[in-house]
Structure 1
Amino acid sequence: MENTWILKGGRVWSEGRFTESDVAIAKGRVTAIGSGAGAADARTVDCRGCYVLPGLVDVHVHLREPGFTAKETVATGTAAAARGGYTTVCAMPNLNPAPDSPEHLERELEAIRRDARVRVVPYGTITRGQKGRGELIDFGALAPQVAGFSDDGRGVQEEALMREAMLRVKGTGRKIVAHCEADELLRGGYIHDGDYCRAHGHRGISSESEWRQVERDLKLVRETGCPYHVCHVSTRESVELIRAAKAEGLPVSCETAPHYLLLTDADLKEEGRFKMNPPIRSAADRLELLNGLADGTIEAIATDHAPHTAEEKSRGLAGSAMGIVGLECAFPLLYTYLVRRGVISLERLVELMSDNPRRLFGFAPGLAVGEPADVTVFDPERICEIDPETFLSKGRATPFAGWRVSGCTLLTLVGGRAAYQDEKLKLK
């Protein structure tokens, strides 16, 4: 029967803990969680030894369509997402045309309706043309169809403009989702302004270029009360500022990404696959990010999946485009190198990659009776090597090529439909 499944004998995430159980799915929804659940004619998956999770949610991806389909499309990006265990992704607005009006947003929505394998919720821009300057968009006109408002790739440079944006967004029920970067502090940099940068004659991006704008925006949140989310936090100062703001009770949240949690600038190589914005930072920054995971300052992990063509990533650290891909390897990397090494618990990882993003952005709560069957099955013992040549994404640039990981996706269901199914999946 279509969209009817029994996920049998897995370690099921339910009400904040894992319990060995069955999950029954019918007509696209979870109908029961418990031993012996399900219809006799359902497709049965042997999940013994596997984790059955609410589908992962990535609130920061770049699908590149419309406008940049040589880099990625909705079809290829969401295929990669499904393979990585994601059932919902939020698409950033650096597109052509940028989604700064209902007409321009409709171009993106057409591609999503036609080709998406997982749920895709787009962002609207903050400024017209996503320039980080100039004219604000009509937030109310886009609010019902977007996850929030962002000029990701550019920070909003003028304080008065960001204040006005917050005042207007506050009444829409959406968030400002901020790429924090002060242009006047960049000074032509393209990797972290640290030891590797100075030893190899590169131009550095200072930590202040990020945290100074975080500091400014938190002041504006205090004035306006606008819900506010900081993208791809990479510096210890940003973590400290957000921690203090949350303690103050301000409506703020933030995300970081796997590469900031697993790498430092000491790991850099003279290759474009190590270049992204913000850059990989110092060991001290990485340590504070891990502290932020532990104490709840950082509530989400997003990939900032940012595919480019092979040619654009072939020009070394100085000349390559900013951005790496991550949808297909984020969960196994974090499971292998944080959970299995005792840095965080698996329960915390599920919160960071599924439960918290759902709560922060108002999405359905996940694996619960009556909810849409957005479910992912992971095999924690299956070991593989990250090989970009096998990616479903058009992007191939990852600093994690060759890393050995465990925790591979066996099945991703979106509304009960198989968005990804591994060849090793055991079906009855």
Structure 2
Amino acid sequence: MKKLIKNGIVVDPERGRKEKLDILIENGKIVRIAEKIEETEDVKIIDVTGKYVLPGLVDLHVHLREPGFEHKETIATGTRAAAKGGFTSICCMPNTDPVADNPSVIRYIQHRSAEEGVIRVFPIGAITKGSKGEEIAEIGMLKEAGVVALSDDGRTVMNSGVMRRAMEYATPFDLTFITHCEDHNLVDNGMVNEGYASMMTGLPGYPAEAEEIIIARDIKLAELTGAKLHIAHVTTKGGVELIRQAKARGVSITAEVTPHHLVLCEEDVLSYDTNFKVNPPLRSKEDQAALIEGLQDGTIDIIATDHAPHAYEEKMVEFQWAPFGIAGLETALPVIITTLVKDGKLSLMDVVKKMSTKPAQILDLSVGGIGEGQEADLVVVDLEWEEEVRVKDLVSKGKNNPFIGWKLIGWPVMTMVKGKIVYQRSGFNAGN
């Protein structure tokens, strides 16, 4: 059946529009967009008066945990959590068991996503075998299997020679390197930002320089090899400046920041609540301000969740024993709207660009827009809908969310993939 989304305010950075429009969908594709489309008997009407229709959100940094860590998350639960958060496309990191460093694991993820998932899942392949940083993975075979990028995720390729050879080898395959920048030798057992947080808590510090040194190295290697580089979860003022300078020199580089690094800071870890334990750690307020400024001026291209779910019992231990990570797919958009859009630091158009259009462009994914002929991947958002984040409402297996108890506005009320409604918020009436 055809679907007609009526009276929504369409926000589309690609075409620079934010206006009240109707959208007609047939066979999973947008066939017409106009100010007023006539209703017919063979059409399901979805009245979204007063609400905003955005292109489905795209997340370049998600941990689905399957295969190997299904007690933390599965493709089924992770994609449903993503749909609830307004995401229609996600890229999953390769730190599974076995590591996604070969076509067999990639095909498994693709098969499970088609079988159990409710949104689009794009696999990311490992840079090195087993993500051990020693031997380059079979990059050509990974590309052929369908990976959209390469990353060793939380394991920085510490050997610069190996990283250089990987970049040189992968460049003809046009794959972007997504790098977690952490000098392991400097971090050692660091858990919180080195400085105020480490001093006040007595926990081992993680210096900003450990992140910045690898950002600088990877930038130089990208310049040397011509590789496309994407810096994951930037957290420091110095890191933002390094990226800004690299862009000014014409380096092929993009960068992301997470919602939690934008709105939380090192002072939050003083409670020893393990939901605030994340890698890289929450930084200073000065770093936080630099991240927001970098997002505003385009130095930082996108917002990505780094969704890292863990089992309840894994986080319910002393701070030093808990794993790093925040499960953030379900709250990312309302957190950004509540803290940055409401305060005038970002416009809704900016948010859509940085959480949908630009992420798709970085990895050349054919998603992230609202145009005639495009597949209908859409999210309807109610900017007035206020709701408290509660553990019992979270769809993800991971309940390790630092925003539990926060009252947030700007919740997705409906998510659609290829014209199919894959999520509808309780209390939202989508019409006949």
| TM-score, with length taken from structure 1 | 0.97
Q: Which of 299, 302, 305 in structure 1 is aligned with 2:304?
A: 302
| Corresponding residue number in structure 2 for 1:12 | 10
Contact 2:106 2:147 in 1 (8 A): no
| Corresponding residue number in structure 2 for 1:143 | 143
| Corresponding residue number in structure 1 for 2:292 | 290
Mapped to 2, the partners of 1:267 and 1:301 lie a distance apart of 21
Mapped to 2, the partners of 1:89 and 1:247 lie a distance apart of 29
Contact 1:23 1:38 in 2 (8 A): no
Aligned-pair distance for 1:190?
0.9
* Pairing 1:148-187 to 2, within 5 Å after superposition: 148-187=149-188
* Pairing 1:90-109 to 2, within 5 Å after superposition: 90-109=91-110
Q: 1:204-258 CA distances to partner (integer Å, 9 max, x unpaired)?
A: 1111111100000101111111001011111111110001001111100010100
| Corresponding residue number in structure 1 for 2:30 | 30
Structure 1 SS opposite 2:22: strand
Q: 1:90-111 CA distances to partner (integer Å, 9 max, x unpaired)?
A: 0000001111111222222221
Contact 2:193 2:281 in 1 (8 A): yes
Mapped to 2, the partners of 1:10 and 1:317 lie a distance apart of 45
Amino acid at match of 1:154: R
Amino acid at match of 2:184: D
* Pairing 1:55-70 to 2, within 5 Å after superposition: 55-70=56-71
| Corresponding residue number in structure 2 for 1:204 | 205
Aligned-pair distance for 1:315?
1.4
Mapped to 2, the partners of 1:263 and 1:140 lie a distance apart of 40
Contact 2:327 2:399 in 1 (8 A): yes
Identify if the C-alpha distance between structure 1 residues 38 and 59 changes in structure 2 by more than 3 Å, giving closer, same or farther. Answer: farther
* Pairing 1:38-53 to 2, within 5 Å after superposition: 40=40, 41-53=42-54
Q: Which of 389, 394, 400 in structure 2 is aligned with 1:391?
A: 394
Q: 1:23-74 CA distances to partner (integer Å, 9 max, x unpaired)?
A: 1111000111112336622221111110000000000000000000000000
Contact 1:98 1:105 in 2 (8 A): no
Aligned-pair distance for 1:333?
0.7
| Corresponding residue number in structure 2 for 1:272 | 274
Aligned-pair distance for 1:134?
1.1
Q: 1:176-216 CA distances to partner (integer Å, 9 max, x unpaired)?
A: 11111111111211111121221121111111111100000
Which runs of no fewer than 5 residues in structure 1 stay unpaired? Answer: none
| Corresponding residue number in structure 2 for 1:338 | 340
- Give the root-mean-square deviation of aligned CA atoms: 1.1
Aligned-pair distance for 1:348?
0.6
* Pairing 1:185-200 to 2, within 5 Å after superposition: 185-200=186-201
Mapped to 2, the partners of 1:21 and 1:106 lie a distance apart of 40
Structure 2 SS opposite 1:111: helix
Segment of structure 1 superposing worse, 34-43 or 176-185: 34-43
Contact 1:11 1:21 in 2 (8 A): yes
Mapped to 1, the partners of 2:194 and 2:131 lie a distance apart of 27
Contact 1:143 1:173 in 2 (8 A): no
Contact 1:5 1:38 in 2 (8 A): no
Identify if the C-alpha distance between structure 1 residues 38 and 25 changes in structure 2 by more than 3 Å, giving closer, same or farther. Answer: farther
Aligned-pair distance for 1:138?
1.2
Aligned-pair distance for 1:409?
1.1
Answer yes or no: is 1:425 the counterpart of 2:423.
Answer: no
* Pairing 1:204-243 to 2, within 5 Å after superposition: 204-243=205-244
Contact 1:377 1:412 in 2 (8 A): yes
Contact 2:134 2:159 in 1 (8 A): no
Aligned-pair distance for 1:356?
0.5
Mapped to 2, the partners of 1:37 and 1:423 lie a distance apart of 27
Contact 2:206 2:281 in 1 (8 A): yes
Mapped to 1, the partners of 2:283 and 2:384 lie a distance apart of 31
4+ long deviations beyond 3 Å: none
Aligned-pair distance for 1:419?
1.0
Mapped to 2, the partners of 1:100 and 1:287 lie a distance apart of 37
- The percent identity for this pair of structures is 40
Q: 1:95-150 CA distances to partner (integer Å, 9 max, x unpaired)?
A: 0111111122222222112111100001000010112x211011111114012000
Segment of structure 1 superposing worse, 375-384 or 267-276: 267-276
Structure 2 SS opposite 1:151: coil
Q: 1:384-407 CA distances to partner (integer Å, 9 max, x unpaired)?
A: 011122111000011111111111
Structure 1 SS opposite 2:334: helix
Mapped to 2, the partners of 1:13 and 1:187 lie a distance apart of 45
Contact 1:32 1:38 in 2 (8 A): no
Mapped to 1, the partners of 2:391 and 2:234 lie a distance apart of 25
Mapped to 2, the partners of 1:35 and 1:347 lie a distance apart of 20
Mapped to 2, the partners of 1:141 and 1:311 lie a distance apart of 38
Aligned-pair distance for 1:319?
1.2
Amino acid at match of 1:9: N
Mapped to 2, the partners of 1:376 and 1:103 lie a distance apart of 33
Answer yes or no: is 1:260 the counterpart of 2:261.
Answer: yes
Answer yes or no: is 1:120 the counterpart of 2:118.
Answer: no
Amino acid at match of 1:124: G
| Corresponding residue number in structure 2 for 1:378 | 381
Amino acid at match of 2:124: Y
